Structure 1
Amino acid sequence: MEFLETLLIIILIIFGFRLLFKFFAPFLMRYFMKKLKQKFENAQQQSHNQSTYTSQNDNLNSQSGSRKTNPNSKVGEYVDYEELD
Protein backbone atom coordinates (compact mmCIF):
# COMPACT_ATOMS: atom_id res chain seq x y z
CA MET A 1 0.00 0.00 0.00
CA GLU A 2 2.90 2.35 0.70
CA PHE A 3 4.22 1.74 -2.79
CA LEU A 4 0.92 2.88 -4.33
CA GLU A 5 0.85 6.01 -2.16
CA THR A 6 4.42 6.87 -3.19
CA LEU A 7 3.59 6.23 -6.84
CA LEU A 8 0.46 8.39 -6.59
CA ILE A 9 2.44 11.25 -4.98
CA ILE A 10 5.10 11.08 -7.72
CA ILE A 11 2.44 11.13 -10.44
CA LEU A 12 0.66 14.08 -8.79
CA ILE A 13 3.94 15.99 -8.53
CA ILE A 14 4.68 15.36 -12.21
CA PHE A 15 1.22 16.53 -13.27
CA GLY A 16 1.52 19.55 -10.97
CA PHE A 17 4.82 20.57 -12.59
CA ARG A 18 3.30 20.12 -16.03
CA LEU A 19 0.37 22.38 -15.14
CA LEU A 20 2.67 25.01 -13.64
CA PHE A 21 4.93 24.85 -16.67
CA LYS A 22 1.98 25.26 -19.05
CA PHE A 23 0.83 28.28 -17.07
CA PHE A 24 4.20 30.03 -16.58
CA ALA A 25 5.97 29.07 -19.83
CA PRO A 26 4.41 31.85 -21.96
CA PHE A 27 5.38 34.49 -19.39
CA LEU A 28 8.92 33.15 -19.13
CA MET A 29 9.28 33.00 -22.90
CA ARG A 30 8.10 36.61 -23.27
CA TYR A 31 10.55 37.72 -20.59
CA PHE A 32 13.51 35.96 -22.19
CA MET A 33 12.55 37.12 -25.68
CA LYS A 34 12.41 40.75 -24.47
CA LYS A 35 15.86 40.38 -22.91
CA LEU A 36 17.23 38.80 -26.09
CA LYS A 37 15.66 41.55 -28.21
CA GLN A 38 17.25 44.24 -26.02
CA LYS A 39 20.67 42.61 -26.27
CA PHE A 40 20.34 42.33 -30.04
CA GLU A 41 19.24 45.96 -30.40
CA ASN A 42 22.11 47.14 -28.19
CA ALA A 43 24.63 45.16 -30.23
CA GLN A 44 23.16 46.48 -33.47
CA GLN A 45 23.22 50.05 -32.15
CA GLN A 46 26.84 49.72 -31.08
CA SER A 47 27.75 48.25 -34.45
CA HIS A 48 25.95 51.09 -36.21
CA ASN A 49 27.70 53.67 -34.03
CA GLN A 50 31.10 52.14 -34.75
CA SER A 51 30.46 52.01 -38.50
CA THR A 52 29.28 55.63 -38.46
CA TYR A 53 32.36 56.63 -36.48
CA THR A 54 34.75 54.83 -38.84
CA SER A 55 33.00 56.16 -41.94
CA GLN A 56 33.28 59.68 -40.56
CA ASN A 57 37.00 59.10 -39.95
CA ASP A 58 37.39 57.72 -43.47
CA ASN A 59 35.65 60.77 -44.89
CA LEU A 60 37.91 63.08 -42.91
CA ASN A 61 41.01 61.20 -44.03
CA SER A 62 39.97 61.22 -47.69
CA GLN A 63 39.06 64.91 -47.54
CA SER A 64 42.37 65.91 -46.05
CA GLY A 65 44.17 64.59 -49.13
CA SER A 66 47.42 63.86 -47.39
CA ARG A 67 48.16 60.50 -45.91
CA LYS A 68 50.39 60.44 -42.90
CA THR A 69 52.90 57.63 -42.98
CA ASN A 70 54.91 56.42 -40.09
CA PRO A 71 58.58 57.29 -40.74
CA ASN A 72 59.69 54.34 -38.63
CA SER A 73 57.76 51.78 -40.65
CA LYS A 74 59.97 49.48 -42.68
CA VAL A 75 58.36 49.08 -46.05
CA GLY A 76 61.30 47.54 -47.80
CA GLU A 77 63.49 48.37 -50.73
CA TYR A 78 62.03 49.21 -54.12
CA VAL A 79 63.05 46.74 -56.79
CA ASP A 80 62.58 47.56 -60.47
CA TYR A 81 62.08 44.40 -62.49
CA GLU A 82 62.80 44.40 -66.20
CA GLU A 83 61.18 42.13 -68.70
CA LEU A 84 63.36 39.60 -70.47
CA ASP A 85 62.84 38.87 -74.18
Structure 2
Amino acid sequence: MTFLKTILIVLLVYFGLKFLIRLATPYLMRYISNKAGQQFEQFFGNNPNMNSQREKEGSITIDKNPSQNSQSSKKVGEYVEYEEVE
Protein backbone atom coordinates (compact mmCIF):
# COMPACT_ATOMS: atom_id res chain seq x y z
CA MET A 1 0.00 0.00 0.00
CA THR A 2 2.85 2.38 0.80
CA PHE A 3 4.42 1.68 -2.57
CA LEU A 4 1.23 2.64 -4.41
CA LYS A 5 0.90 5.79 -2.29
CA THR A 6 4.49 6.78 -3.17
CA ILE A 7 3.91 6.17 -6.88
CA LEU A 8 0.71 8.25 -6.75
CA ILE A 9 2.51 11.16 -5.01
CA VAL A 10 5.36 11.07 -7.54
CA LEU A 11 2.90 11.11 -10.44
CA LEU A 12 0.90 13.96 -8.92
CA VAL A 13 4.06 16.02 -8.37
CA TYR A 14 5.24 15.29 -11.93
CA PHE A 15 1.98 16.28 -13.60
CA GLY A 16 1.55 19.27 -11.26
CA LEU A 17 5.01 20.63 -12.14
CA LYS A 18 4.38 19.96 -15.82
CA PHE A 19 1.13 21.95 -15.64
CA LEU A 20 2.73 24.84 -13.72
CA ILE A 21 5.66 25.03 -16.13
CA ARG A 22 3.27 25.24 -19.08
CA LEU A 23 1.45 28.10 -17.37
CA ALA A 24 4.63 29.97 -16.40
CA THR A 25 6.57 29.58 -19.66
CA PRO A 26 4.99 32.53 -21.56
CA TYR A 27 5.58 34.90 -18.64
CA LEU A 28 9.14 33.68 -18.21
CA MET A 29 9.90 34.06 -21.92
CA ARG A 30 8.41 37.56 -21.94
CA TYR A 31 10.56 38.52 -18.94
CA ILE A 32 13.72 37.12 -20.56
CA SER A 33 13.03 38.87 -23.88
CA ASN A 34 12.39 42.20 -22.10
CA LYS A 35 15.66 41.89 -20.18
CA ALA A 36 17.58 41.00 -23.36
CA GLY A 37 16.00 43.98 -25.13
CA GLN A 38 17.01 46.31 -22.32
CA GLN A 39 20.59 45.05 -22.40
CA PHE A 40 20.69 45.35 -26.20
CA GLU A 41 19.35 48.90 -26.00
CA GLN A 42 21.85 49.79 -23.28
CA PHE A 43 24.74 48.34 -25.27
CA PHE A 44 23.84 49.98 -28.58
CA GLY A 45 22.04 53.04 -27.20
CA ASN A 46 25.20 55.16 -26.90
CA ASN A 47 26.28 54.58 -30.50
CA PRO A 48 27.38 57.92 -32.00
CA ASN A 49 26.58 56.73 -35.54
CA MET A 50 22.88 56.43 -34.77
CA ASN A 51 22.08 60.04 -33.92
CA SER A 52 18.49 61.19 -33.94
CA GLN A 53 19.62 64.29 -35.82
CA ARG A 54 20.80 63.11 -39.20
CA GLU A 55 23.25 65.25 -41.11
CA LYS A 56 22.54 66.34 -44.64
CA GLU A 57 23.58 63.92 -47.35
CA GLY A 58 26.97 64.85 -48.76
CA SER A 59 28.29 66.65 -45.67
CA ILE A 60 31.73 65.55 -44.52
CA THR A 61 32.92 65.24 -40.93
CA ILE A 62 36.32 64.03 -39.74
CA ASP A 63 36.38 62.47 -36.29
CA LYS A 64 40.09 61.64 -36.03
CA ASN A 65 43.15 62.41 -38.11
CA PRO A 66 45.18 59.35 -39.12
CA SER A 67 48.52 58.92 -37.38
CA GLN A 68 51.66 59.85 -39.35
CA ASN A 69 53.83 57.07 -37.86
CA SER A 70 52.84 54.47 -40.43
CA GLN A 71 56.34 54.01 -41.92
CA SER A 72 58.33 51.15 -40.50
CA SER A 73 62.01 51.66 -39.73
CA LYS A 74 62.72 47.93 -39.31
CA LYS A 75 64.91 46.15 -41.83
CA VAL A 76 62.91 43.21 -43.07
CA GLY A 77 65.75 41.20 -44.57
CA GLU A 78 67.62 40.71 -47.81
CA TYR A 79 66.24 39.31 -51.05
CA VAL A 80 67.34 35.76 -51.97
CA GLU A 81 66.99 34.62 -55.55
CA TYR A 82 66.27 30.95 -56.14
CA GLU A 83 66.97 28.93 -59.27
CA GLU A 84 64.98 25.97 -60.53
CA VAL A 85 66.80 22.63 -60.54
CA GLU A 86 65.86 20.04 -63.17
TM-score by length of 2: 0.58
TM-score by length of 1: 0.59
- Any unmatched runs of 5+ in structure 1? 62-66, 78-85
The residue number in structure 1 matching 2:77 is none
Q: 1:14 to 1:69 in 2, by over 3 A?
A: same
| CA RMSD, Structure 1 to Structure 2 (Å) | 2.8
The residue number in structure 1 matching 2:78 is none
- Any unmatched runs of 5+ in structure 2? 51-60, 75-86
Instruction: Please tell me whether residue 76 in structure 1 is matched to residue 82 in structure 2.
Output: no
Instruction: Render the CA deviation track for 1:42-82: whole Å, top value 9, x for unaligned.
Output: 11223x23x57xx7622xx3xxxxx7758xxxx528xxxxx
- Larger relative contact order (CA 8 Å, sep ≥ 6): 1
Q: 1:56 to 1:29 in 2, by over 3 A?
A: farther
The residue number in structure 2 matching 1:8 is 8
Report the count of equivalent residues. Answer: 64
Q: 1:28 to 1:68 in 2, by over 3 A?
A: closer
Residue type of the alignment partner of 2:63: N
